[in-house]
Amino acid sequence: MNPDLFPQLNRVIHEKGRLAIMSALAAAPELTFTELRDLLDMTDGNLTTHIRTLQQEGFVSVAKSYQNNRPLTSCALTAAGRKAFAQYIDLLDQIVRQSRSK
Amino acid sequence: METKWAVDNLQTIRTLMERSALYRRALAPIMILAGIIGIAAGLTGWLCRNESNRGFVCLWLVTAVISLAGALLLMRRQALKDSEPFWSPPTRRVCQALLPAFFVGLVMACLILAFSSGSGGEGLQHLLVILWVLFYGCAVHAAGFFMPRGIRWLGWIFIIVGCALLSSLSLGAQWVDQMQPNLLMGGIFGGLHLAYGIYLHFTEQKTPTA
């Protein structure tokens, strides 16, 4: 196995919770905070912390609006986030393929 | 060891991506169409004195087919407009969730068509209305797991209305017996769909994607 591949895995995405958020957002144009929380079974605080980290990295954009006079927070992957996620998946795939070919 | 970890991670990612792809087509026009068709069918059945069991079942089977065809056309139009596939994975999952309860409702209708006498029998029709309402509520609630969460509330409303009617019928409440079954169907299916459609029209986000 090529040991050089592991250090290339993005550390921000690699964390379990953040990887789950990135995976969920990769398949939908956008998800509300509530949808993400229910889907990933996370607490509000945990989800907020992870989203903030991803937002600071420029991987996730957060939009705040109102629906039925209630605040609505929507999250979506940015172009940089989509690219980083694709690279992460590609690296994982390479790791699997390399070890299987041996 | 590392390979297993990588494979597990890829599997988790795939599962999450599949689960997060919610069905997001605009439901307001579909609900409003179903509501109008339901109310029109109820009034037609009542005005035409459609009182036989077979006539009742036939009218509502035809109504269901027309509503379903209209809904599919609207969904297809939205998909084409957004340059997206009509038969997307979320659409497929919603249909799979609806199917079991719809199938049971259809079997009940077929049994009545096959074995019921052609004349009268409003008691059976009332029971059929209640069972259809309950099964439809269960179907909508099941589909709601792959759609925005509001749709599950509609499922619950159908289930609660069905349970209330069943309780009233069991307790011998006169008002249920006196209600013409076609009007009951039109009122519940048509009325609830129309009300929900109007609600969605004013609240739904205008960015439909499947």
Mark yes or no for CB contact A27/B207 under 8 Å: no
Work out the pLDDT band at B46, boundaries 50, 70, 90. Answer: very high
Comparing alpha-carbon positions, the chain B residue that sits nearest to A37 is: B20
pLDDT of residue A49: 95
**Do B39 and B194 contact (CB within 8 A), yes or no?**
yes
Mark yes or no for CB contact B149/A35 under 8 Å: yes
**Do A29 and A35 contact (CB within 8 A), yes or no?**
no
Q: Which residue in the set A1, A23, A29 is minimally distant from B13, CB to CB?
A: A23
Whether chain A has a CB inside 8 Å of the CB on B110: the answer is: no
pTM over 0.90, yes/no? no
pLDDT of residue A3: 61
pLDDT of residue B207: 47
**Do B40 and B191 contact (CB within 8 A), yes or no?**
no
**Each residue of B47-83: b (16+ CB within 10 Å) or e?**
eeebbbbbbbbebbeebbebbeebbeebbeebbeeee
- Measured CA to CA, the distance from residue A82 to residue A85 in angstroms comes to 5
**For B20-44, how does the pLDDT look when each residue is reduced to its tens digit (9 = 90+)?**
776 767 789 999 999 999 999 999 9
Low-confidence ranges of chain A (pLDDT < 70): 1-3, 102
Q: At what angle do helices A33-40 and A16-26 cross, to 10 degrees?
A: 120
pLDDT of residue B93: 82
pLDDT of residue B208: 42
**For B66-117, how does the pLDDT look when each residue is reduced to its tens digit (9 = 90+)?**
999 999 999 889 888 877 778 877 888 889 899 999 999 999 888 887 777 6
ipTM of the complex: 0.73
- Measured CA to CA, the distance from residue B120 to residue B51 in angstroms comes to 6
**For B153-201, how does the pLDDT look when each residue is reduced to its tens digit (9 = 90+)?**
999 999 999 999 999 988 888 888 788 999 999 999 999 999 999 998 8
Q: Which of B112, B101, B111 is nearest to B134 (CA)?
A: B101
Give the type of residue at B91.
T
Contacts of B16 in chain A (CB under 8 A): 20, 23-24, 27, 39-40
Contacts of A25 in chain B (CB under 8 A): 20
Comparing alpha-carbon positions, the chain B residue that sits nearest to A16 is: B9
Cβ neighbours around A46 below 10 Å, total:
13
Work out the pLDDT band at B122, boundaries 50, 70, 90. Answer: low
Place of tokens 């609900």: B31
Kindly report the nearest CA distance between residue A47 and chain B, in angstroms: 15
pLDDT of residue B165: 93
For residue B77, give both structure tokens. 């139009």
Contacts of A26 in chain B (CB under 8 A): 17
The four Cα atoms B181, B108, B149, B92 give a dihedral, to 10 degrees, of -130
Angle at B158 between CA A34 and CA B167, to 5 degrees: 130
Q: Is the pLDDT of residue B206 over 70?
A: no
Q: What stretches of B21-52 show up as alpha helix (H) in DSSP?
A: 28-47
pLDDT of residue B119: 58
Give the DSSP H or E segment for B128: helix B122-143
pLDDT of residue A39: 83
Q: Is the pLDDT of residue B4 over 70?
A: yes
